[in-house]
Amino acid sequence: MLLLLQQFPSLPSSGAASFPPPFQNVQSAFLCLRDCKRPPLPVLSAFSSGPKNWCDWNEDNANSSPFDLPAYKWRLVIAYDGTRFSGWQYQRSTPTIQCYLEEALTKITKLERENLHLVGAGRTDAGVHAWGQVAHFITPFNLANLDDVHKALNGLLPSDIRIREIGAAIPEFHARFSVTSKIYHYKIYCDAIMDPFQRHYAFPSVYKLNPDTMRDAAKHFVGRHDFTAFANGSRNDRVPDPVKIIFRFDVIEMGHLLQLEVEGTGFLYRQVRNMVALLLQVGMEAVPSDIVPMILASRDRKELAKFALSVPPQGLCLVAIKYKPEHLHPPADAPTSSFGRHRSIGRCKLPCF
């Protein structure tokens, strides 16, 4: 209320609990302040006292804030089968994960998608899956019962998208900028006949692969390197930093499946799939394992193209995202996080004869 009177001094000060006309509720006041051209006031974190300039309304600038009301930030952990989707990023013409998620959130919160400011940790490509995608969104009001919101979200979303967790986040948390590392898995099915139940989740290789030589080659990726040679052209106007740190790159045998697990501070566009493509050539013994440092040193995408083409998306899965521990602490007085709840059958209260 105080914020409204500061922005609009002509409003009457009487009436303690409700917004005066035309502000019938928090949402209408929120929309009015969005269009206000006056200099912004500090944004107040509704979970803590004192002013904080924290609302990242623009995902490229975590400090920008076009309107000023106490706001609540919420963190989502999302799993999805990416087979029929055109990736994570919102698009008008094709179905994406962000499209469906924003549609469900707008129905529950009654906010426009632009006011939710949903931000994902990673922009997975078409056909890529996720078990641990993370996103955050913002509301100008509290979501008191997160179990009910969780149930409603999964009820509105298609069955190949599930919200695994929803919880309150502190102002400093950001789905992209608070990340310390991401873990991707890529599955390769190594057999003469492809398992039809794996066709959407693994890349079929009719060639026998040598896991030992693949492990030797994968070791060359570990550490701090310039991965320009393993990146396709960027999909946006940003100039990404090509220097990334790979913490581990494991090759694990699981029967007919070969699972490649890579963890790093971040990845360039198609970097993981391009690294896997080269390891496939090494596993087929078409190229030696020491070719990796040579291509890294070239910093030229054309150099990689001489030896390997990118692998398809269906074998790739974003498994987990790690964050700064201090950014995962729940805010004071926040509602309990929801991890889903089981149904139970109540006992019959009728007397038995």
Angle subtended by helix axes 97-109 and 146-156, to nearest 10: 130
Q: Say how far apart CA 165 and CA 9 lie, in whole Å.
A: 42
State how far the Cα of 270 lies from the Cα of 278, in Å rounded to an integer.
13
Number of Cβ within 10 Å of residue 110's Cβ equals: 12
Which residue bears the tokens 């500090």?
Answer: 42
Q: Which residue has the tokens 């969780």?
A: 150
Q: Is 241 a catalytic residue?
A: no
Give the Cα separation of 317 and 185 in Å (integer): 5
Helix (H, G, I), strand (E, B) or coil at 108: helix
Show the tokens assigned to 149: 């919101």
Question: How does 262-282 read in b/e, with b if 16+ C-beta sit within 10 Å?
Answer: bbbbbbbbbbbbbbbbbbbbb
CB atoms < 10 A from the CB of 290, how many? 11
Burial of 111 (C-beta count, 10 Å sphere; 0-12/13-18/19+):
buried
Catalytic residue, chosen from 56, 68, 81, 125, is 125
Pairing mode of beta strands 257-264, 203-205: unpaired
Question: In 12-159, where do the E strands start and end?
Answer: 72-80, 119-120, 129-139
Beta strands in the chain (DSSP E): 72-80, 119-120, 129-139, 161-169, 179-190, 203-205, 223-226, 243-254, 257-264, 316-323
* Whether the Cβ atoms of residue 321 and residue 132 lie closer than 8 Å to each other: yes
Point out the residues that are catalytic.
125
